[in-house]
Amino acid sequence: MSPMVTVFDALSQEQANAFSLVLNASGIANRATRSNDGFRIDVPKPYADAARDVIYRYQAENPDDEADPSVSRSHPANKNLSGIAVALLLLSIHLAVSASSAPEDYTAVFGAHAGRILNGEIYRCATALLLHADAAHIAGNMAGVVIFGGAVCMVTGAGVGWLMILASGMAGNLMNALAHETGHMSVGASTAVFGAVGILCAFQAVVAARTGKGWKRAALVLGSGLALLAFLGTSARSDVAAHLFGFLCGGLMGGAYRLWMGHPLGMKGQVLCAITAASTVLLSWMRGVIG
């Protein structure tokens, strides 16, 4: 008998029962059992990909049901709150920097200066995400963090979600530095915000490619991101190229995640990813302080 593997986890009991019935109707043996994060669906290993495709098609044909089979209904509000927490953190840093005697010094030390990044000051790829030019800049990014960051975390879990968003923002800043190779300077979390938009677009695109449906949702996410781009483009230090690179990096990460991860990581994995993300930001900031 083939070993059983988990294809969906962190489900509500209602979801688990529905998915099990759909799989049974498709002739795929399965087992719904309780897990640490709710309920999970196990199937014989050779049928794992087929089971995922069946459920993705079921979801695409029933859009009024849960939009993504890897999202848990058990604690959706808790996952959304992480976006609010990160937005408030960005606001606190912006207010503290603005109230300092020399705000421009923070930009000089922590901003994404292309030449300095290429000379080895990689920490700037992370610290630049914490700085903002003006009220419009921080307001737009706070909205983006809550909406798009929260949406990513609804699918991946908060720890994995913020680690991916941070990584896409840092990668976007690095690519932007490689593209300019000059004294170009940029600041703002918008590179990471557009990384989140790219992640979401990739999620929807992979599901649509598997099922043949769902392209409208991918287009809707992309359209929302373009609207945010238009708003943020009015800021004094807004960097459209960095936004584009963040989006592309996020798309690659989101596509890889959706293709290779059948379900969100459990609590231990989420905590480990959250610690990794927080440590990266903290150590990068300390590196800038030390010089």
Q: Which residue ranges form the domains of the chain, and what is each CATH number? A: 4-61 (3.30.70.1530), 76-290 (1.20.1540.10)
| Cα distances (Å, whole numbers) of residue 228 to 134, 147, 186, 193, 235 | 16, 11, 17, 10, 12
**Mean pLDDT of all residues in the chain?**
83
Asked whether the predicted pLDDT for residue 177 surpasses 50, the reply is yes
Portion of the chain with pLDDT greater than 70, in percent? 85
Whole-prediction pTM value? 0.74
Distance CA 34, CA 240 (A): 46
Asked whether the predicted pLDDT for residue 51 surpasses 90, the reply is no
Nearest to 165 by CA among 92, 104, 90: 90
Distance CA 115, CA 164 (A): 25
Worst-scoring range by mean pLDDT, 71-80, 113-122, 133-142, 150-159? 71-80
Q: Write out the two tokens for 210.
A: 């598997």
CA angle centred on 196, ends 176 and 286, rounded to 5°:
60
pLDDT for 1 equals 56
Banded model confidence at residue 205, pLDDT cuts 50, 70, 90: confident
Q: Show Cβ contacts of residue 219 under 8 Å, excluding neighbours closer than 6 positions.
A: none
DSSP state letters, 63-132: TTS-S-TT--SSSHHHHHHHHHHHHHHHHHHHHHHHHSS-HHHHHHHHSEEHHHHHTT-TTHHHHGGG--
Question: Are 210 and 202 in contact, with CB atoms under 8 Å apart?
Answer: no
Residue in the structure block whose two tokens are 């392209």 = 215
pLDDT for 281 equals 97
Asked whether the predicted pLDDT for residue 69 surpasses 50, the reply is no
Asked whether the predicted pLDDT for residue 74 surpasses 50, the reply is no
Worst-scoring range by mean pLDDT, 45-49, 111-115, 165-169, 172-176? 45-49
Q: Show Cβ contacts of residue 229 under 8 Å, excluding neighbours closer than 6 positions.
A: 194, 240, 243
Question: Are 14 and 66 in contact, with CB atoms under 8 Å apart?
Answer: no
Portion of the chain with pLDDT greater than 90, in percent? 40
Distance CA 92, CA 276 (A): 22
Q: What is the pLDDT of residues 75-126, one digit of tens each?
A: 333 345 899 999 999 999 999 999 998 889 999 999 999 999 999 999 999 9
Question: Are 107 and 187 in contact, with CB atoms under 8 Å apart?
Answer: yes
